[in-house]
Structure formats: structure tokens, C-alpha cells
């Protein structure tokens, strides 16, 4: 599992930037870079929920599920590996708009090779805009290869279906 | 040769029983919590087990570990003290048969069972997404309603 994690970190570091030397340092840069990258993508959809309701779910679930420090270990023949990762969510609620950002920082076990934003590299940015009394449009910038359960869970927070916490060790 | 074999057997037995001595939760209290689970790993080469760690909580919100319960799909009954906070930690422990790796994530909440109330808890882990629903009802025929999870620092409320 950690081999997978390390592989993905290295690959995504190179690929999400298009082998450039820079990772997105702001949510805006992530919005621009993720859709065109090999390991990132963007999806847009509409949901029959108000921005206020989705923002409320973001606030409740982000702190409960994403504000975590995760340790993973793997032992085998002649190797023992420990990776500690801190995940930090940010929820912004504005007039007719809600945002959810998820950033991660490997505190142990993975070498930093790119400049990192204050709360860690961006993994997810979800923008929600109200387009009716109880209808919203969602722009979801997210990984396309790894972290499928995180993507699925956060999508569920927007749609209101299958609400749960993603296992950040996966 | 016989002594070597016996020594190995004793060390192995001690290792299995002693070193893996997770304290099991037991109480003489009346069962007031019924827990069911669903655990589906995301591949045929891995598994997920669900455990419940139970802590006593004092007035200063400090916890004391009381013991663990391994949970199954079938109903597990647990007795918790009424009108008193307990801290429950549902641990979802995944392990891989091939890579020798393991991981664990948890859902933690305070629960203060009320006298005369019954509680149903559904802990679910499906394809890397987990959730714990707590339902409360008065008596055996009362209407069930969902109660929100509470953080440890809310123990004085």
C-alpha cells in the first residue's frame, strides 16, 4: 500500500506539473493545472441542493473526516517503511458560493522535491455555486488516478448521497 | 531435540497470547447498545476488520481505556453506563494478504446513553469509505432518531 503511495506521490509530482519544476501553490493555480495534467482532472455537474446545505455538509464532514494525520507502515523482507501524512481541509463559505480544498503534506517517509504551499500540496478543490433556490453547480478539480475513495466521498458530500468519510490510508 | 521443540512451542504460545493481549471490554451493565457492521474491502487480496475501543471519560474530559470489542456483521450487544459519557473509537483495520501491509483509520465519538433509551449503531466500511450511524430511541417502541457524533472536547455539554 505504501509502495503504491510512494509511487503515486513521485509520479503525480512529475506528471501533475507536466514534468515542470513547479507544483500548484494556490487553489487558483491548481484549478488551472489539474484539468490538463495526466493524473488530474475536472468534472462539472449540477445537484438539487442549495449552496448553504452543501456548505453545511462541507463544514461538518471536512473537519470530521479530512483534518487528520495518517501513519502507514509496511514491513517485509529487508525493509520497513513509515509514511506520515498530514491532511488539511479548508472550507470557504461565501455569498452563493462554497469551496472545499484538501491539502496534504508528507511529514515523514517521502522526500519533498517541489516547493510546497503552507498547508501542503493541493489534492482537491471543489467549487459550488448556487444556480437556483435549491440547485447548485459543482466544479470539481481532483486526482484522476489515485485517491478514488476521497474523490467519491467528497462527490457524495456535494450530491448528498452516500455520505461518509474516506479512508485516507487507501 | 524434544526440549528445543518444547521451548519453541512455549515461546510461540506466549508470543501469541501475551504480546497480542488486547484488553477485551466486559461489563456487568445491562446491554443498551446494539451494533451491526458491514465491511467490504476493495480487493480480493485484502480484508477489513472493525473493532470498537471503549473509554471511560471523566469530568475533565480525560479518557481511560476500558477495553475493545471485535465487531461482526451480526448484532453485537454492549452495555455502557447510563447518563455518563463514554468515548467510542470505531477502528477500521485493513490488511493486505500479499504486501504484508496494514492500515487503520478510526471514527471517534462521545456517547452518553440515557436511562430508558436504547441505541443502535451501524458501522460501515465499503470501498474505502466509512461511516458510523448512531440511532437513539426511547424504550423498545420509541421512534428512532439519528444523533450526531460529538468530539471529546464537548464532554462537558
Name the A residues in 32-71 with CB < 8 Å from any B CB.
Answer: 64, 68, 70
Q: How confident is the model at residue B125 (pLDDT cuts 50, 70, 90)?
A: very high
* Model confidence at A8: pLDDT above 70: no
Which range has the worst mean pLDDT, B43-57, B64-78, B120-134? B43-57
What is the spatial distance between Cα A91 and Cα A101, in angstroms, rounded to a whole number? 7
Shortest CA gap A165–chain B (Å): 5
Give B149's contacts in chain A (Cβ within 8 Å): 64
Judging contacts by C-beta atoms under 8 Å, the chain A residues touching residue B99 are 1, 3, 74, 76
| Element of type H or E holding A170 | none
Checking DSSP bridges between strand A135-143 and strand A165-166, what pairing results, if any?
Answer: unpaired
Decide if pLDDT at B154 tops 70. yes
Q: Which DSSP string do the residues of A92-145 spell out, in sequence order?
A: EEETTEEEEEEEEEEEESS---S---TT-EEEEEEEEEEEETTEEEEEEEEESS
Look up the ipTM and state it: 0.80
At B16, is the pLDDT very low, low, confident or very high (cuts 50, 70, 90)? Answer: very low
Q: Is the pLDDT of residue B133 over 70?
A: yes
Distance of CA A67 to the CA centre of its chain: 12
Closest residue to A1, CB basis, from B99, B105, B127: B99
- CB within 8 Å: A169 and B149: no
pLDDT at B89: 97
The model's pLDDT over A39-74, given as tens digits with 9 standing for 90+, comes to 899 999 999 999 999 999 999 999 999 999 888 777
List, in order, residues 6 or more apart from B96 with CB less than 8 Å away. A1, B45, B46, B102
Q: Which pLDDT value is given to residue B5?
A: 55
For residue B3, the distance in angstroms to the closest alpha carbon of chain A comes to 30
Round to whole Å and give the CA distance between A4 and A19: 20
Report, as an integer, the average pLDDT of A7-30: 65
Say whether pLDDT at B15 is over 50. no
pLDDT of residue B7: 55
Residues of chain B contacting A3 with CB distance shorter than 8 Å? 99
Q: How high is the mean pLDDT of chain B?
A: 87
Cβ A164–B131 below 8 Å, yes or no? yes
Q: What is the pLDDT of residue A154?
A: 97
Task: Kindly state the average pLDDT of the residues A96-113.
Answer: 90
- In residues, how long is chain B? 157
Q: Is the pLDDT at A12 greater than 60, yes or no? A: no
Categorize the per-residue pLDDT at A1 as very low, low, confident or very high, splitting at 50, 70 and 90.
very low
Where do runs of H (alpha helix) occur along chain B?
2-18
Our CA-based measurement puts residue A39 at a distance from the nearest CA of chain B, in whole angstroms, of: 20
Record: contact B131-A156, CB cut-off 8 A? no
| pLDDT of the residue at A23 | 85
From the list A1, A75, A168, the residue facing B105 with the nearest CB is A168
More confident of the two residues B98 and B23: B23
CB within 8 Å: B99 and A76: yes
Q: Residue B112 pLDDT > 70, yes or no?
A: yes
pLDDT band at B140 (very low <50, low <70, confident <90, very high): confident
The pLDDT, as a whole number, for residue B96 is: 79
Domain ranges of chain A: 3-159
Nearest CB to B96: which of A1, A162, A164? Answer: A1
Answer whether A152 sits within 8 Å of B149, measured CB to CB: no
- % of chain A beyond a pLDDT of 90: 62
Amino acid at each position: 500500500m505504501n509502495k503504491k503511495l510512494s509511487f503515486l506521490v513521485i509520479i503525480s509530482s512529475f506528471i501533475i506539473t507536466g514534468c515542470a519544476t513547479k507544483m500548484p501553490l494556490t487553489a487558483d493555480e491548481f484549478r488551472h493545472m489539474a484539468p490538463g495534467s495526466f493524473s488530474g482532472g475536472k468534472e462539472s455537474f449540477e445537484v438539487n441542493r442549495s449552496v448553504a446545505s452543501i456548505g453545511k455538509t462541507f463544514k461538518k464532514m471536512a473537519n470530521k473526516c479530512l483534518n487528520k494525520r495518517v501513519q502507514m507502515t509496511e514491513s517485509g523482507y529487508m525493509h520497513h517503511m513509515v509514511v506520515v501524512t498530514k491532511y488539511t481541509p479548508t472550507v470557504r463559505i461565501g455569498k452563493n458560493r462554497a469551496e472545499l480544498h484538501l491539502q496534504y503534506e508528507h511529514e515523514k517517509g517521502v522526500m519533498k522535491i517541489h516547493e510546497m504551499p503552507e498547508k501542503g500540496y493541493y489534492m482537491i478543490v471543489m467549487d459550488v455555486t448556487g444556480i437556483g433556490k435549491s440547485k447548485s453547480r459543482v466544479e470539481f478539480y481532483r486526482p484522476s488516478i489515485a485517491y478514488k475513495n476521497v474523490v467519491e466521498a467528497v462527490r457524495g458530500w456535494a450530491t448528498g448521497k452516500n455520505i461518509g468519510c474516506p479512508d485516507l490510508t487507501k | 531435540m524434544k526440549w528445543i521443540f518444547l521451548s519453541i512451542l512455549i515461546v510461540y504460545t506466549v508470543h501469541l497470547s501475551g504480546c497480542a493481549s488486547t484488553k477485551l471490554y466486559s461489563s456487568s451493565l445491562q446491554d443498551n447498545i446494539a451494533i451491526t457492521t458491514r465491511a467490504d474491502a476493495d480487493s480480493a487480496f485484502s480484508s477489513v476488520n472493525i473493532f470498537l475501543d471503549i473509554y471511560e471519560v471523566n469530568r475533565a474530559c480525560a479518557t481511560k481505556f476500558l477495553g475493545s470489542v471485535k465487531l461482526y456483521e451480526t448484532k453485537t450487544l454492549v452495555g455502557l453506563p447510563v447518563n455518563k459519557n463514554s468515548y467510542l473509537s470505531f477502528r477500521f483495520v485493513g490488511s493486505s494478504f500479499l504486501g504484508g501491509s496494514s492500515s487503520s483509520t478510526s471514527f471517534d465519538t462521545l456517547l452518553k446513553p440515557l436511562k430508558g433509551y436504547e441505541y443502535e449503531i451501524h458501522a460501515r466500511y465499503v470501498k474505502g469509505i466509512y461511516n458510523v450511524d448512531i440511532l437513539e430511541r426511547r424504550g423498545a417502541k420509541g421512534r428512532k432518531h439519528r444523533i450526531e457524533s460529538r468530539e471529546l472536547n464537548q464532554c462537558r455539554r
